[in-house]
């Protein structure tokens, strides 16, 4: 793994920590040599004892996928391309979220979800600089 150079930097540091522990280096020498803290060295050794070589890999991190994909995302885009309701003259993220929920596309929706979907689609080929709709 260390010779191929195809692994992530985290995996390489973890592998080097374990190799130094195997060679008998104390934690106080291994930590500064690999630019990590002593607690990191101790924690990595404990993980290796508990999980063997699986300790080199990252565990899944928290965070979810966007709740809108496929048809609901298309509905959101279609609503964003319709004329805005009377008022400021354009859709707000909150209005879009409320409209999609009112249409029954999703049981609930946060304005942040709307923002992420619109941001994701604005940079796609064919979109205008004014937004996602071709006019």
For residue 25, being part of any structural domain is answered with yes
For residues 131 and 124, the answer to whether their CB atoms sit within 8 Å is: no
For residue 42, being part of any structural domain is answered with yes
| 76 and 111 belong to one structural domain | yes
**Residue position matching structure tokens 């205008």:** 128
Residue 58 has pLDDT above 80, yes or no: no
For residues 132 and 76, the answer to whether their CB atoms sit within 8 Å is: no
For residue 62, being part of any structural domain is answered with no
pLDDT number for residue 116 = 83
Query: Which pLDDT band holds residue 128 (cuts at 50, 70, 90)?
Result: very low
* Cβ neighbours around 80 below 10 Å, total: 22
pLDDT number for residue 127 = 44
| 75 and 35 belong to one structural domain | no
Measured between alpha carbons, how far is 99 from 60 in angstroms, rounded to an integer?
Answer: 34
| 76 and 43 belong to one structural domain | no
Residue 4 has pLDDT above 60, yes or no: yes
Number of domains making up the chain: 2
- Paired tokens of 14: 């973890």
């Amino acid at each position: 793994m260390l010779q191929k150079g195809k692994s992530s930097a985290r995996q390489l540091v973890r592998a080097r920590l374990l190799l130094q522990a195997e060679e008998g280096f104390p934690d106080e020498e291994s930590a500064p040599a690999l630019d990590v803290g002593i607690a990191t060295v101790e924690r990595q050794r404990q993980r290796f004892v508990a999980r063997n070589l699986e300790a080199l890999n990252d565990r899944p991190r928290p965070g979810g996928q966007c709740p809108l994909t496929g048809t609901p995302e298309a509905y959101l885009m279609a609503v964003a391309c319709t004329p805005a309701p009377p008022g400021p003259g354009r859709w707000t993220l909150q209005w879009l979220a409320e409209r999609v929920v009112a249409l029954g596309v999703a049981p609930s929706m946060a304005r942040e979800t709307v923002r992420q979907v619109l941001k994701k689609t604005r940079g796609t080929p064919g979109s205008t600089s004014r937004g996602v709709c071709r006019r």
